[in-house]
Amino acid sequence: MVSAGSEDATEDLRKAAGALKTQALDQESPPADQAQVLNKMAKYQVPQRSGDIVMIQSEHTGGIDVLSADLESADLLGDHRKVSPPLMAPPCIWTFAKMKEFKSKLGKEKNSRLVVKRGEVVTIRVPTHPEGKRVCWEFATDDYDIGFGVYFDWTPVTSTDITVQISDSSEEEDEEEEEEEEIEDPVPVGDVERGSRSSLRGRYGEVMPVYRRDSHRDVQAGSHDYPGEGIYLLKFDNSYSLLRNKTLYFHIYYTS
């Protein structure tokens, strides 16, 4: 025999169970408006190529979301687009034959002569000068040729002092700069015989690649108009030589 109180309690439990079941079904099935939006979004394709853009407009708020293939896929909103340095204008280069006079003059001046040892790369860092408009260089070597190239570091200039950096090879030099500057995306190093593509990366621009120059026969000279504020990297590359050191005579200056 069941009392009236027990029957009421049983009915209350049935109603509660029915309400929970209805709530669960509502959570499993999205509202009609939401389902319609999801169906429309499913028609759009994720941009695949650089430059592809997809625009999605919300029917509720009117806001527009833009998806671009140039954005990082891991975090579309958090990561910034990688920007390559601007292309550099070509330099003016020439040679002249007054080798003895050139060496004799620079041999008497301080800091105008150095020895690039076998397997070494010497980088002369030349900041842009506020009173100058272009950088100029002249160099020669004794008896043998040497690799030479020019690059530009788009970085604020804090000092106009010219400095010299020596490394055992171009690859080691790039590794040191990568550790100091935390630059990503290395570019493979080429052959000095055919003109190496610098493995400097990120904010560095190439004025002229490293080629072997006949600096033992004629004085090598050139100039380049300032592209903006930054530091020129003049590279004298003897990494390909396993036996011979190279005596280098150089003159670097700016003009207005």
pLDDT tier, 229 (very low <50, low <70, confident <90, very high otherwise): very high
pLDDT, tens digit (0-9, with 9 covering 90-100), for 159-171: 999 999 999 865 5
Residues 168-175: contacts with CB within 8 Å, 24+ apart? 168/119, 168/120, 168/121, 169/119, 169/120, 169/121, 169/239, 170/121, 170/196, 170/198, 170/199, 170/210, 170/235, 170/237, 170/239, 171/199, 173/121, 173/123, 174/198, 174/199, 174/200
Residue 74 in this model has a pLDDT that exceeds 50: no
- The amino acid that residue 109 corresponds to is E
pLDDT at site 86: 81
Minimum mean pLDDT among 88-92, 106-110, 196-200, 207-211: which range? 196-200
pLDDT, tens digit (0-9, with 9 covering 90-100), for 230-250: 999 999 999 999 999 999 999
- The amino acid that residue 108 corresponds to is K
Q: Are 106 and 250 in contact (CB under 8 A)?
A: yes
Q: Are 162 and 126 in contact (CB under 8 A)?
A: yes
Q: Regarding predicted confidence, which is higher, 171 or 100?
A: 100
Per mean pLDDT, which of 32-36, 68-72, 116-120 is the most reliable?
116-120
**Residue in the block written with tokens 């100029």:** 136
Minimum mean pLDDT among 14-23, 98-107, 165-174, 200-209: which range? 14-23
- Mean pLDDT, the chain, rounded, equals 76
- List all residues 6 or more positions away from 48 whose beta carbon is below 8 Å from its beta carbon: 69
Q: Are 126 and 231 in contact (CB under 8 A)?
A: yes
CA distance 50 to 236: 37
149: how many CB neighbours lie within 10 A of its CB? 23
What value does the mean pLDDT take over residues 73-88?
57
What value does the mean pLDDT take over residues 186-203?
54
Beta bridge partners of 50: none
What value does the mean pLDDT take over residues 195-206?
66
- List all residues 6 or more positions away from 254 whose beta carbon is below 8 Å from its beta carbon: 128, 129, 131, 132, 133, 134, 135, 136
pLDDT at site 186: 38
What value does the mean pLDDT take over residues 217-242?
97
Q: Regarding predicted confidence, which is higher, 34 or 102?
A: 102
pLDDT tier, 75 (very low <50, low <70, confident <90, very high otherwise): very low
15-53 CB burial, b ≥16 within 10 A, e <16:
eeeeeeeeeeeeeeeeeeeeeeeeeeeeeeeebeeeeee
CATH class label, 92-169+201-255 = mainly beta
Q: Regarding predicted confidence, which is higher, 220 or 35?
A: 220
pLDDT at site 171: 55
Q: What angle do CA 112, 232, 173 make, to 5 degrees?
A: 85
What value does the mean pLDDT take over residues 75-100?
76
pLDDT, tens digit (0-9, with 9 covering 90-100), for 3-58: 555 556 556 656 665 665 555 555 555 555 555 645 555 555 555 554 555 455 55
CA distance 95 to 213: 10
Its pTM stands at: 0.61
- The amino acid that residue 80 corresponds to is H
